[in-house]
A = this chain, B = another copy of it.
Amino acid sequence: MRGVVLHAPGDIRVEERAEPSIVEPTDAVLRVVATCVCGSDLWPYRGVEEVRDAPMGHEYVGVVEDIGPEVRTVGVGDFVVGSFWASDNTCEICRAGYQSHCVNRVLMGSIGTQAPLARIPLADGTLVATPKMPDEELIPSLLAASDVLGTGWFGAVAAEAGPGRTVAVVGDGAVGLLAVLAARRLGAERVVAMSRHADRQALAREFGATDIVEERGDEGVARVKELTDGLGAHSVVEAVGTQQSMTQAIRSTRPGGHVGFVGVGHGVSLPGEELFFSGVHLHGGPAPVRRFLPELVRLIWDREIDPGRVFDLTLPLDRAAEGYRAMDERRAIKTLLTV
């Protein structure tokens, strides 16, 4: 089969890879219907993370092609969504809702789902089947649930977005935009999207943003405080992962408020004394998407949310390199790859 491989920074190729098969009795093999390029794929693409000759991709929806003898909850022919961490969903950490830290977890990025077929470890704990075969138009939204929606949702949950709260979102990538959607769905009264791009601002408003702040850094913090009687937001979602964005998120939050951080931290260092005196709650990390998947699939199935709107470029898998380039140059928010 032909799958996406990153050879070196900037060097994405679609080339021959071995077809996967059942290895463990708890595995499934998935025929991938759609996959996509993640903001986190850009870190190795840009050389910020050292990666060579690696299969790429960790987001996926598709049809179960084969299952191991111990798989019980999904069957051949089911249409399924899974998360970027395979998890058993039965260990103590999973049961507490942290499937991305499952004691038996497997990183799907190490398998590479930008390909026609993918082995899914721990299929029972990882995959969620849709009620039946979805309409074509639902595919982008179901694919979004696999990572960016689940991650934005977790950011909003970690920031304790809810009724009566003002939520600010730092970052206008797909995750940030979907954190806006999540905050609103979770009942937030006011959602402040921080963005200086007209197209992303428009999508943020569609997803429920009530205010847009274009300023960044200290000026962005000052604007959020102006909007909140000088106190800061109750909840702030950090969806970038840089020193500036983390600092901006913490300083935009009122004492006792909550920062949910879902941008993968790169070279970020938090000064202990500032954190101490800020009085905020900090929670984040790789999102336990599996915790939210059943609910997210239902919301999409019932057409209550339309997170697939973040895909503004669709390409066949063979043209993956173009999709990476468009995201790297910020010409696309997120690229969907059809298989």
Top 4 A-B pairs, shortest CB-CB distance: A268-B272, A265-B272, A101-B255, A98-B256
Q: How far is the CA of A102 from the CA of B330 in the complex (A)?
A: 42
Contact B269 A279 (CB under 8 A): no
A interface with B by C-beta (< 8 Å): 92-93, 96-98, 100-101, 103, 229-231, 241, 243, 246, 254-256, 261, 264-273, 275-286, 288
A263 to chain B, nearest CB (A): 8
* Residues of B with C-beta under 8 A to A285: 255, 275-279
Contact with A279, one of B98, B229, B256 (Cβ below 8 angstroms):
B98
Contact A272 B270 (CB under 8 A): yes
* Residues of B with C-beta under 8 A to A92: 229, 231
Q: How far is the CA of A251 from the CA of B241 in the complex (A)?
A: 21
Q: How far is the CA of A256 from the CA of B229 in the complex (A)?
A: 32
Contact B266 A275 (CB under 8 A): no
User: Closest chain B residue to A270 by CB distance?
Assistant: B270
Q: How far is the CA of A294 from the CA of B97 in the complex (A)?
A: 35
* Residues of B with C-beta under 8 A to A246: 272
Most chain B CB within 10 A, of A100, A255, A261, is at A255
